[in-house]
Amino acid sequence: MNTEKSEAGEGKKRGGDVIVETVSRLMVPFIQLFALYVIIHGAGGPGGGFQGGVIFGASFVLLVIAFGIVKAGDRFPEGINTALTSLGVYIYAGVGLLCIILSLGVAQYLNYGFLSLPVHFEERRALGMDLVEIGIGITVMAVITSIFFNLVWKREPEGGGGEEE
């Protein structure tokens, strides 16, 4: 009885999930490509760091919806996610500190005109803005991913808490 029930259960599960799993696995790279497009073309049209980061995080949420939290959650280890959240803030504050170091004497925080790139003063501001938007996108992507995974993960009940699901 036990084996029959488990086999019938497995057959039903296999039939419904193939389409959703395959299509979402195909769609995820294109969603991430669109997110990178929105981050980098934030200077020429609508978009920017926050918007692109959220779209990037939405692609990981799609993976969790299609595959279930246990299978998809094993692919994103918690340590790398937490490191990525702080990497974006480092990039942003680091660019500002670099502008203080490279602007000898005037010492202005986050004035991208003093970065040492081989173009004239006004265009350096545009390139500095792109660097900063990339940092924002990385942080927002990692934070949205980690918030979603932590809210959905089923927790093991601690000792003495009772059987709660």
Partner 1 sequence: MEWVIADIILAKYNYWVSIILMLIGFYAMIAKGNLVKKIIGLNIFQTAIFLFYISLADIRAVIGTKGGTEPIVSEEIIHKGYVYVNPLPHVLILTAIVVAVATTAVALALIIRMYEEYGTIEEDEIIEKERELGV
Partner 2 sequence: MKLISLSALLFVIFLGALFIYIADDIPDFGDPNSPPNRYVNLSISMDAAEAATNLNKGVVPEELVSKLEARGFREDELPAKVEMVKEGEWDAFIIPEEKHYYPKEQKYYFIKKEGDKLWVYRYAPIIRYIEEGHEETEVPNMVTYILADYRGYDTLGEVTVIFTAGVGVILLLRRRAKRPEAR
Nearest to 40, CA basis, from 31, 28, 49, 32 = 49
CB-based burial, 9-22: b 16+ in 10 Å, e otherwise: eeeeeeeeeeeeee
Residue number with CB closer to partner 2 (27 or 58): 58
The CB-of-147 to partner 1 minimum distance in angstroms stands at 5
Using only the alpha carbons of the chain, give its radius of gyration. Answer: 22
Q: Site for partner 2 (CB under 8 A): which residue of 4, 156, 164, 165?
A: 156
Nearest to 21, CA basis, from 59, 63, 71 = 63
Q: Site for partner 2 (CB under 8 A): which residue of 15, 16, 44, 162?
A: 44
Q: Site for partner 2 (CB under 8 A): which residue of 73, 98, 100, 115?
A: 73
Report d(CA 77, CA 73) in Å as an integer.
8
Place of tokens 């995974």: 149
The CB-of-44 to partner 2 minimum distance in angstroms stands at 6
Residue number with CB closer to partner 2 (28 or 84): 84
| Footprint of partner 2 (CB under 8 A) | 42-49, 73, 78, 82, 85-86, 88-89, 92-93, 96, 106, 108-113, 121-123, 125-126, 128-129, 132-133, 135-136, 139-140, 142-143, 146-147, 149-151, 153, 155-156, 159
